[in-house]
Chains A and B, each alone.
Chain A
Amino acid sequence: MKVLMPYFKRYHVDVTVAMLSVIVLVFATLWQPRLLQVVMTAIIKNDQQTVFREGLLLLGLAALGIAGGIINTVYSARVALGVATDLRLDLYAKIQSFAYADVEKFSASNLVVRMTNDINQVQQIVMAGFQQITRIPLLFIGAFVLAIVTMPEQWWVIIVMMAIILLATWIAVRHMTTYFAETQQDIENVNTVTRENLMGIRVVKSFVQETNEINKFSAASDQLTTVTAKIGYWFSILMPIFFLTANLAVGVAVYLVGQNITTHPSYLAAITSFISYLMQILYAVINGGFLMTFASRAFISIGRIDEVLATKPSMTYVTSDDDKPLTGDISFEHVSFTYPGDSQPTLKDVSFQIAAGSMLGIVGATGSGKTTLAQLIARLYDPDSGQIKIGGVDVREIPEKALRSTVAYVLQRSTLFSGTISANLKQVRPDAQLNHMQWAANVAQASEFIERLPQTYDAPVEERSQNFSGGQKQRLAITRGVIANPEILILDDATSALDARSEKLVQEAMDRDLTSTTTVVIAEKIASIIRADQILVLDDGRLSGTGTHRELLQTNAIYQAIYQTQKAREEGEND
């Protein structure tokens, strides 16, 4: 809750109006039975003037109630949306300040849930808060006090009523909480079977397992049904008990009024207002209970949001707006790296250097650390030990803007953002003109399909770039990678969906047009890196060998093994 305080302060006028209108509302609700009582007494006394006057007052009270309600809704909504919008913005800004490791720590999908569902929960509880949460205790206390003022002798009736209601709730809730936990588990089981069957529908059908899957699902579903029914039964008993208790209390109260009517004849006119107050107390308790379960969920959401806001970015940059690129030399000196949460290092004591403008190839089995190594160059992570230098400067000493304008990183699944092609390219190079885009697209062999699109560079990019094929996506990503003519270009398996001819053309174009750029190429295919000036062979995080293709074929067993699996057949060699 403390997290929200500064946001409430920002909207202190709205907060005040909302609170004041709640007080007006409560006043209107509670004063009505009192007025009623006065009217009744007036009727008994045959005092027409009073009846008329108080009747008008009652009408005024109704109007006040409506006005209070509307004002309350409007201002509660203003507070709720103000707080939710600001909180969402701060949360998003926080996430944007994160290092990649922080994003991974939470996982992207988890962060999205916090940005959407959790914020929504907060918005709803704030809205409900200014409409109900302040109102319920006020109503409860007000009704309680007024009921006692109305018939002071009967205070114990109210207490007994509340005691019974609370006891019943406590017993029911105790039973239901275990069932609720069970429901969660059952829902998960049902969803797991469904998801697996959706994803594996071909497996199910080709192994003719429909009947078994139905049985599996029915078993999970029946469990859920049984528990749901049990919760339903408990709920069924709660409401009747609440109302029966309240009505019994009314009965007892009226009976007592009757027995003592000769001592307190004025109580005759007070019966209806006393009943009204009893019912107000009951509704306050019931609504309070519902709000409590609602609030407890919102508190969990607030906690989850707070967790993100309280996270300090695990990586900081030297403060400087300097965006002058460095030269493209890269050196690793005894670099080791362990992913947060892992026990084994992913990179172990890796050292190498590469001069600006040359090409570095990285090969190795899946999980050998190729991508990790590339990510360290782009400073997505910092090494545990050792030093990485770009242009002779430790990456930790390079201002963020300078680093980003030096290094371009093209990922294997590097989709573009929805918008247009040119908007994506201009994100990386704001001053990009058509000729720049054409040049970059030419290098990436993307111009042939972009220029066939009706809107060419202004062609729309859909979500997840799904209006482009895998090969087109990769070529667009490479276009984006080269448009700013970076000093260092990392291609992380970024040509895997390209056929060998296009890939070769991309490489030739890069050799021609990006002469001063250092290219780092991670590849499964030896053919992709065969021309590299230097090739690193990674094996389980260690640098097993380094050299050119020819050298490695002579000296490195792992490289030879990889080569064997890709080598043309003997008779093909003479082809």
Chain B
Amino acid sequence: MTDLRNAGKYYWHYLKKYWRGFILSSLLIAFSTWCIVIAPTYLGRAVEELTTYLGQWTNPATRAQASLGSFNQTLIVYILLYVGDAVTIFGASLILARVTAYSTGTMRVGLFRKMQRMQVKYFDTHSDGDILARFTSDLDNIFNAMNQALLEVLLAVAQFIGLLIVMFNQNATMAWVTMASTPIALIIAALVMRKAGTAVNQQQDDIGQLNGYINEQITGQKVLITNGLQHDSLRGFRNYNNQVRKSALTGQIWSGILNPLMQGMSLLNTAIVIFFGSWLALNGSLSKGAALALVVVFVNYAQQYYQPIMSLTSLYSMIQLAITGARRIDEVRDQPDEINPTEGGQPDGIHHELMIDNVRFSYAPGKEILHGVTIKVQRGEMVALVGPTGSGKTTVMNLLNRFYDVDSGQITFDGTDIRTFDLKALRQNVGIVLQEPQLFTGTIADNIRYGEPTASMARVIDAAKQANIHDFIESLPDQYATRVSDEQSVFSAGQKQLMSIARTILTNPRLLILDEATSNVDTVTEAKIQAAMDNVIQGRTSFVIAHRLKTILNADKIVVLKDGAIIEQGNHEALLAENGFYAELYRNQMVFE
């Protein structure tokens, strides 16, 4: 139920501005429905007139009076009604196609805008695949439902109402007869759909497990081959595969059975109507011609009667998916935005000192990661953060440009809490080189001037030179105009890191944070990256998160973090002399001979 309410809220938000379109298309649909339900009565009348004509013509006494005039006129009205139906349905479809395309377009952009405003926490706690699925399959489900179901649902409802009105207008008895089987049909439909629901859920669960197994095994095929485990893998697969076969059979049968059942009910209903109608024609008070006409008309109605019910049941699963999709996207819309102070201050670099002042922080409540960390940095100093995985090094970076906010304590630039600064202005002052560099689809030049899209080519080249990547770019056939994307990169892991450094150099940040990415490159490439880093650090206040100590031996200050607290602090020589954790780490990483 809450699903339905959330979905309602969601669709209301995005569809309310199309109210004119909905009203107009509803009117058009109402008119077309009127045409469709009224048309068979004209066909019936035409048959009736033809019967009269035939009767008159067969009788020599009245043959002279026999005329097809009124028959022809009735037929023309009949045809005009269908022309009216076609035109109005066309109009309604056009409007709804437009509404569907543009409203889902707005939903897509709305979701993306939201994504840009949300806190980094959301992205850290949800897998990329999960978020991407909201852009792809959830929006697709919504689009498909609107594209196919919207018109059909409106039509089905309108036709059902229209049909009831016309049937009762024609002949109440016959109308009741036509409707007699409805409760049975609805009960059957409800029962089958419930069965199908549980069976399909079971089927989806089993398919999920099978797919999980396939994915894990084939992704680990190297391990399977090198351990000679192919037969074991096949044996495990059989179990999952057979399980899917069993549950999918039940699922397919229950969900496939509804349509023939309803079709059968419709046929049964037609039979009942014929049966009863012809009995009425033979025994009732109506004239034979009128009775025959009534049967013709109601046979038509009986065949139409189950169509709305059938199309609604066949759309059921599609609508269900659209409701789930809306709920999932609505979840994202409910996520908190980043907190940005109104009229926040505009920081202008660091003039004297940056202070991390007794900062405590936790990603999840109750699991504190930083337990009161204090680091004081003078302008122009280079500070290295060292420590084992999970010690909180990267967390410090997350706090410095407010990807996350501290639980207590504060971070200040020249005494001003960074949370009082305008968020964008703060980030423009802080440059970050991330451990896993990300390139964007576009040219190399676009990627280097990513932070400042209007930067001149000369500045782009200058940044590339400082980052030691210019020569490589020049060696490419299209040089700076070479198109790159994150997936099919012309760059090796190390070169990607250099690109990311060039990108940061170009924006000339006052404070620099380097999450040193050298775990995936060999030590020779690492030396090259380090040279580029030295260029960018020159003259700036900087934090370097070090994984290999070789790169930070010259830091003004080395801060050793362990389990979220500072255990040692000082320069390389001082820490070695202390002969503590740092000294041990240093001896472990380096080769002594």
Contact = CB atoms under 8 A, between A and B. Distances in A.
B211 A116 contact: yes
Interface string B556-587: 00000000000000001100100000010011
A366 B494 contact: yes
The 8 A-B residue pairs with the shortest CB-CB distance, nearest first, are: A69-B260, A232-B97, A404-B228, A500-B588, A66-B264, A200-B438, A225-B105, A236-B93
Contacts of B237: 89, 92
Interface residues of A, number: 164
Interface string B194-233: 0000000000000000011011111111111111111111
Interface residues of B, number: 156
B537 to A, nearest CB: 17
Interface in B476-503: 485-486, 492-494, 500, 503
B116 interface: yes
A203 B438 contact: yes
Given A36-B299, A51-B279, A208-B428, A115 B75 contact: no
B184 to A, nearest CB: 12
A414 B365 CA distance: 33
A471 B519 CA distance: 14
Nearest to A224: B105
Contacts of B291: 43
A463 B213 CA distance: 9
Contact of A225 (B102, B223, B390): B102
A196 B522 CA distance: 26
Most buried by B among A68, A116, A195: A195
A272 B299 contact: yes
A367 B492 contact: yes
Contacts of A366: 492-494, 521-522, 525
A217 to B, nearest CB: 5
Contacts of A248: 79, 82
Contacts of B214: 92, 112, 115-116
A136 to B, nearest CB: 14
B352 interface: no
Interface in B71-96: 71-72, 75, 78-79, 82-83, 85-87, 89-90, 93-94, 96
B274 interface: yes
Contact of A563 (B226, B292, B591): B591
Contact of B53 (A92, A261, A415): A261
Contacts of A255: 72, 75
A348 to B, nearest CB: 19
A565 B523 contact: yes
A39 interface: yes
A409 B227 CA distance: 8
A573 interface: yes
Interface stretch (B249-257, B328-336, B409-417): B249-257
Given A108-B218, A268-B54, A32 B270 contact: yes
A221 B109 contact: yes
Interface string A234-247: 01110111011001
Interface in A476-526: 480, 496, 499-501, 524-526
A214 B219 CA distance: 35
Nearest to A463: B216
A77 B246 CA distance: 11
Nearest to B139: A190
B430 A244 contact: no
A40 B75 CA distance: 21
Nearest to B92: A236
B61 interface: no
A3 interface: no
B465 interface: no
B376 interface: no
Interface string A271-297: 110010000000000000000000000
Contacts of A464: 216
Interface string B418-455: 00000010011011101000101100000000110100
